[in-house]
Amino acid sequence: MPELPEVEVSRMGISPHVIDQTVKEIIIRNPRLRWPIPEAIKAIEGQVIRGVTRRAKYLLLETDAGYAIVHLGMSGSLRVLPVGTPVEKHDHVDLVLTSGEVLRYNDPRRFGAWLWEEKGVTHPVLEKMGPEPLSDEFNVEYLYEKAQGKRTAIKQFIMDNHVVVGVGNIYANESLFAAGIHPKRAAGKISLARMTKLVAEIKSVLAFAIQQGGTTLKDFKNADGKPGYFAQELQVYGKASKPCPKCGKPLSETKIGQRATVFCVDCQK
């Protein structure tokens, strides 16, 4: 599943091609994604794309009339292609630009989304979200206070979008390992000093993943078709039973919130 770094890399990849471009037409080949694509999205036709922003794992294509909200789901990807490029299987949406290029959305599993909201209104999918992990609002004071009294496993806690957005499974595994915190430890039992380390590692791991172009696991490719390289930097995710990069003992695996969780019993307490 594309996580925050992959979505951010997609945003950076498509922005130079779509910002200040006029949408000539939106072509919807299959409206049955995670939610049906609303008819109201046709309002984007004739509009200039003023900006491309990201909220959590959602991309927002902003116009004077409103904004299209794009979610890549489990297997979605965005590509910038010349108009007239042959359509392939699972190419569900095209945003045809007057520049002669098309922003094409491909999604084999159709768990992604294309939604629309008028200017000045917050769409329900974007409400009640926590701060962005790379923002100043996400800091140790915030996370430590939020965790007080919580019995929730710290891994589930930092993956909760109401607490902080976009820390998906891969990066939760990696951040907790880097911080030396056991993923099952209760969020409310983590000291201020250790929480300080965790916040720093979440920011560091995500920033480095973005720099590396994201993590390619099965489906994700960047807007230019090139894979991300962070997979080569993974320390623990997907490496159960392999030697711990720090102590050399075999890494353990368990399920937390139905998600695969890999950790070192010696290095993470």
Query: For the chain (length 269 residues), average pLDDT per consecutive 10?
Result: 85 93 98 97 98 97 98 92 95 98 96 97 95 98 98 98 95 97 98 98 94 60 60 88 98 96 98
Measured distance CA(181)–CA(261) in Å, rounded: 13
Q: What is the dihedral of CA 225, 228, 232, 234, to 10 degrees?
A: -150
Q: Is 143 helix (H, G, I), strand (E, B) or coil?
A: helix
Is 57 considered catalytic here? yes
Annotated binding site, which residues? Answer: 90, 109, 150
Question: Which pLDDT value is given to residue 215?
Answer: 60
Please report, for the chain, the start and end positions of each structural domain, with discontinuous segments joined by +. Answer: 4-126, 140-263
Q: What is the pLDDT of residue 217?
A: 46
Quote the pLDDT of residue 220: 43
What's the confidence (pLDDT) of residue 1?
67
DSSP label of 230: G
What is the spatial distance between Cα 176 and Cα 198, in angstroms, rounded to a whole number?
Answer: 7
In one-letter notation, the amino acid at residue 244 is C
φ, ψ for residue 25 (rounded to 5)? -165, 150
Residue 2 annotated as catalytic: yes
Beta pairing partners, 236: none
128 annotated active-site: no
Domains 4-126 and 140-263 share a fold: no
Q: Can you tell me whether residue 23 is helix, strand or coil?
A: strand
CATH of domain 140-263: 1.10.8.50
Of 110, 184, 203, 259, the active-site residue reads 259
Q: What is the fold, at CATH topology level, of the domain defined by 4-126?
A: N-terminal domain of MutM-like DNA repair proteins (3.20.190)
Q: How many residues are present in the chain?
A: 269
Considering the candidates 11, 54, 57, 146, report the single residue annotated as catalytic: 57
State the pLDDT at residue 120. 94
Tokens at residue 44, please?
């984007």
Per-residue confidence (pLDDT) for residue 86, from 0 to 100: 96
Backbone angles phi, psi at 226, to 5 degrees: -90, 145
Please enumerate, by residue number, every residue annotated as part of a binding site for DNA.
90, 109, 150
- Helix (H), strand (E), coil (C) string for 193-224: HHHHHHHHHHHHHHHHHHHCCCCCCCCCCCCC
Among 3, 101, 117, 201, which one carries the catalytic annotation?
3
pTM equals 0.88
Catalytic residue among 2, 5, 133, 183: 2
